[in-house]
Structures are given as structure tokens and as C-alpha cells.
Amino acid sequence: MNLSNTLFNSIANKLKLKVSLLNEERVYIENLLNQIDSLKELKENNYKDLSIKKSNQKKTVNNQDLVVMYIINISFLKANTTIHVSDIKGNVKLFYSAGSVGLTGKQKKKRRIAISKLIALVIKKASFLKKKPIALHLNNVNFYKSLIVNKLKKTLYIRIIKSFNQSPYNGCRKKKLRRKKYTKKFK
């Protein structure tokens, strides 16, 4: 009796496994057929309804599924420090420069003070940035990079950091000077 039960159970398990694999293949084939039908419809409509088809398909989107939702760009210019926040489409949400936090003249070149005030202002004004994935773009920041990242990390979720250092160390090569031609004056 035990032997027949074990044989029966092993055969039943193998059959269940094969049935589950067949069900998975059936679902896969149904999906392929649906895609083929939708492509045929698009071809018949000369691809005019492509945007309508995409909008009809509703998908749930989580914050974790998106790579980046906002971009914070911090630039150190020769005479100023700027920060701006934009969404992924490029629409500017916030823009501040060192002058907007009360710094004038040569004070705007003092990077540590300027960037500290600007970051505090952005965190205070941009409450929509909390718990959203952010890309941080740094232009000509050099050795202030760790200061900026540490201050922003405390309150924001930074997903990507890109650094663009455009100012050369020595500056551009000087243009070659042409010699003046001297002519002798005769008396």
C-alpha cells in the first residue's frame, strides 16, 4: 500500500509541475498574441493612434521605480555661486544665486559661506524634494564637493551625483605674441 501511494504521489507531483509549466507558457503566448494584435491595429491606423494607446494603458508608478525626479544643479562661476532645482523635463522650479541670500560683491566668491546659505534656503523652500530621488549636478565645485554632498544628504535622497569641472588648472594657453619688425632709419 505504501509503495503504491508514494508512486501515485510522485506521478501526481510531476504532472502538477508539467501543468504549471504549461499554464506559464499559455500566459506567455497570450501576451505575445495581444502584442501582435495591437501592432496590427497600429499598422492599420498608420501609427496615428500610438499616443492614445500609451495613455490608455494605466500603470502604477512608485517613487522607487523612477530613477530621478528632480535635478539640483550647483554652479561655481568666476564671480557668483548659483543653485537651481528643475524637474526631469528641464522645467526650472527654483533658482537662487549668492545675491538672493544677501551676499554682494566679493562676498559672492566666498564659496563656503555662499553654498551653506544657498543649501539652507533651498531645503527650506523646496519641501517637494523630501523623499524623492534626486540627481545632483556639480559644476566647477572641485574640493567643496564633499561639503555640498554631506549637507544635502542629511535631508534629501540623492540618487546620482555628476561632477563637471570645466575650469582648467593652469588656464588657457596664451596666444603667441608676434614680434615687431624694426626698420633702420637713415639720416
Task: For residue range 83-141, list pLDDT tens digits in order.
Answer: 999 998 889 999 999 988 888 888 877 888 899 999 999 999 988 888 888 999 999 88
Provide the pLDDT confidence category of residue 48 given band limits of 50, 70 and 90: low
The count of other CB atoms within 10 Å of the CB of residue 77 is: 14
Calculated CA dihedral for residues 79, 139, 111, 125, nearest 10 degrees: 100
- 17 and 81 share a domain? no
- Residues 119 and 148: their CA atoms lie apart, in Å, by 8
Instruction: Please tell me the total count of domains within the chain.
Output: 2
- 45 and 131 share a domain? no
pLDDT digits (tens, 9 = 90+) for 142-161: 888 999 999 999 999 898 99
- Residue 76 covered by a domain: yes
Q: Which of 40-49, 146-155, 163-172 has the lowest mean pLDDT?
A: 40-49
The DSSP H or E segment spanning 175 is: none
Q: DSSP label at 57?
A: S
Domain containing residue 44: 2-56
- Residue 33 covered by a domain: yes
Q: DSSP label at 172?
A: P
- Residues 16 and 37: their CA atoms lie apart, in Å, by 31
- Residue 10 covered by a domain: yes
* The pLDDT of residue 46: 65
Question: Which of 14, 30, 56 is the endpoint of a domain?
Answer: 56
Provide the pLDDT confidence category of residue 55 given band limits of 50, 70 and 90: very low
- Residue 117 covered by a domain: yes
Residue (of 110, 106, 134, 105) closest to 122 by Cα position: 134
